[in-house]
Amino acid sequence: MSPSFSPLRILHLEDSELDHELVSMALDSDLGRDFTIQRVEDEEGFLGALRDSPPHIVLSDYALPGYDGLSAFHAAHTLEPNLPFIIVTGAMGEEVAVDTLRQGVTDYILKARLERLAPAVTRALAEADARLSRERAEQEVRALNASLQLRLEEVERLRGTTERQNQRLEVQARQLEEALNLQKTFLAETSHELRTPLTALLGYLRRAEREAGGSQVLQDAQRVAENMTRLVNDLLQLSRGELVQSIEMHFVNLGNVLRQVGRDYGVQADVPDCEIVGDPGRLTQVFANLVSNGIRVSGGPDKVRIELRLRPGEVEALVIDHGPGVPDDIKPRIFDKFYRGKEAGSAGLGLTIAQQVVTAHSGAIDVFDTPGGGATFRVRLPLPDDADEDEDFA
């Protein structure tokens, strides 16, 4: 209702033309702003003006023929509760004046004191603006409170959801921890149980080999038993959270190691000689694990082969299979302890042991796709400083 940027619209309910002129003159003299004033004489004209040209303020006589100021006030208040309403009357008793103010009339001015009219109009408009601003602010506060309440309810809902999820995660974490502890206990107990018969078997094979005088079959059996004993010891160490140890480094022909693994598992291993510094038993363990994995997932030794390639400063040993391959999302985790892929069929420690052995040799192991399908495990090992880097094994 603020008329700040337009002429003030005043609706004057007055049956006397002279009194209307006096009111207009008083306002024109003292109000200090542009205004338009419309006079109506009766209820019909008053209600029509309220609807057709809503005013910023109403000035009304108290007593009119067939109508009165209080009835006009209630009609205006019904249409616009915040509309300022001032009664301008010739005479009004104190009790009547108090009653009109109690009912909500903004102010009353006696026609004999019209010098008070302009200040009363200014004050009434200012109070109406302040009241309107206050109501708007209160509405904004209520809307903000409602929005905050909704947000608080959403926060509480999310908090409840988070607490339930945390509880589920805690249960899952405990279950995983229990499963891991059971797996470690099983590995430790199994390793202890296997070490005794393997130690006895290795002793019998050594005695038989001495008595037979260098039988190749007994030598191969003894070597396999030694590898089994070493694997059992590694499982025991890993179940305790320890790293694979007992690496004995010396000059070794990596080509012999790979060809021997090829004979043991019946896979193609047409590789040349290549001298490195390493532990032949541990290296045999690495490549035996990679080859046995390749045979298991590809379906037979005819789908697995071993290659050896020389690179500047290092040698690459490749175990290539034509099985289902390793999905890209699994490659980064395949060397993690206890990780088992869909085709694992094991405790998930073989590749972990292989990685630790290769790392102990200052090397690296990774996996990539075999062209045409399958997986290729690549073991890179450093060459001795005096190795002939120009030799071609291709």
Q: What is the pLDDT of residues 33-63, one digit of tens each?
A: 899 999 999 999 999 999 999 999 999 999 8
Q: What is the pLDDT of residue 383?
A: 94
Alpha-carbon dihedral 150, 155, 159, 165, rounded to 10 degrees:
90
For the segment 82-135, what is each residue's pLDDT rounded down to a tens digit?
Answer: 999 999 998 888 888 888 999 999 999 999 999 999 999 999 999 999 988 888
Is the model's pLDDT at 166 over the cut of 80? yes
pTM of the entire predicted model? 0.46
Quick check: 80 pLDDT over 60? yes
**CATH code at 244-382:** 3.30.565.10
CATH 3.40.50.2300 placement within the chain: 8-136
Spatial CA neighbour of 348 closest among 147, 184, 152, 192 = 184
Name which of 48-57, 109-118, 222-231, 300-309 the model is least confident about: 222-231
| C-alpha span between 276 and 383 (Å, rounded) | 5
User: 260 vs 94, which has greater pLDDT?
Assistant: 260
Average pLDDT, the chain: 85
Distance, in Å, from the CA atom of 213 to the CA atom of 187, rounded to the nearest integer, reads 37
How far is it, in rounded angstroms, from Cα 58 to Cα 22?
16
Residue pLDDT, tens place only, 322-365:
999 999 988 888 888 666 555 444 445 678 888 989 999 999 99
CA distance 216 to 264: 13
Determine the pLDDT at residue 192: 60
353 is written with which tokens? 């042991």
Q: Reply yes or no on whether the pLDDT at 393 is more than 60.
A: no
> Does CATH place domain 8-136 in 3.30.565.10?
no
Q: Which residues contact 317 (CB under 8 A, 6 or more apart)?
A: 254, 258, 271, 287, 306, 307, 308, 378, 379, 381
How far CA 47 is from CA of 56, 83, 100, 340, in Å, comes to: 15, 14, 20, 87
Domain with CATH 3.30.565.10 in the chain: 244-382
Dihedral of the alpha carbons of 143, 149, 152, 158, in degrees to the nearest 10: -100
